[in-house]
Amino acid sequence: MKNKKYLVTLELVWSQNNEDSRNERDVLEKLKPHTNLKNLTIRNYGGTRLPDWFGSLSTFVSLELSGCKYCFSLPPLGQLPSLKELSISGFDAIVAIGPEFYGNNSSSIAQPFGSLEILKFENMVEWEEWCCFEDHIDAATFTNLKELHIKNCPKLKGQLQRHLPCLTKLVIGGCHQLASSIPMTPVLENLELDECTPSFRLF
């Protein structure tokens, strides 16, 4: 796979009858694509961790991760400088998203997710906490984010990212415990709130 330098879009789909998570990870680790890859979709992957090569594909523009129900953490996607669209859904084992999402070696990243424009979290049934990058390190993140979707994450609570200067669309649905405020954004045009806690506040 790594020799296919003209491959720019790749979709990997597993059956949902995954019984050997170690074997699943070994297979995906060996499927490392060429660094020219721009669009990647992974569905129903049965491993407990995503491969190490995720952080090395600097040309990623679009990434969709769906139905990876045994993964208990996310790779350092904040290190991908070209990533514009990110969709994450069906990660049943994830309880918290923390600094590893932005990149553990964060001192080398001026602005994690600096190119990201669309971010979607859906059907994260056990997700409880989103530790914002700004809570740990004095640096900006999501500086170009235009759309944020968080749907069917019933246990998520706490605060959302506070400073999203380019956000024009915010969609929150099925987040019954999320007690937060609308992020500070001067250009918000589209706001959709559905089945949210009454304590979700507007500035």
DSSP string, 29-68: HHTPPPTT--EEEEES---SS--GGGGG-TT--EEEEE--
Amino acid, single-letter form, for residue 76: P
- φ, ψ for residue 47 (rounded to 5)? -80, 165
- What is the predicted pLDDT for the residue at 201? 55
Cβ atoms within 10 Å, residue 44 = 17
Helix (H) or strand (E) segment spanning residue 190 = strand 190-194
Domain extents in the chain: 9-194
Nearest CA to 40 out of 22, 28, 49, 27 is that of 28
- What is the predicted pLDDT for the residue at 22? 78
165 dihedral zone (left: phi>0; alpha: psi -120 to 50; beta) = alpha
197 CB-near residues (< 8 Å, 6+ apart): 175, 176, 177, 178, 179
pTM above the 0.95 mark? no
Cβ atoms within 10 Å, residue 113 = 27
How many angstroms separate the CA atoms of 101 and 109, rounded? 12
Strand-strand pairing, 96-97 and 85-89: unpaired
How many angstroms separate the CA atoms of 184 and 181, rounded? 9
pLDDT string in tens for the chain (203-residue length): 778 888 999 999 988 766 667 788 888 888 888 888 999 999 999 999 898 888 778 888 999 999 999 999 998 899 899 999 999 999 999 999 988 898 855 445 568 899 999 999 999 999 999 987 655 444 578 999 999 999 999 999 877 887 889 999 999 999 988 877 777 788 999 988 887 765 555 54
Q: 178 vs 89, 94, 127, 130, 142, CA distance in Å? A: 18, 16, 11, 11, 20
Q: Where are the beta strands (DSSP E) in 3-156?
A: 9-13, 39-43, 62-66, 85-89, 96-97, 118-122, 129-130, 147-151
CATH number listed for the domain at residues 9-194: 3.80.10
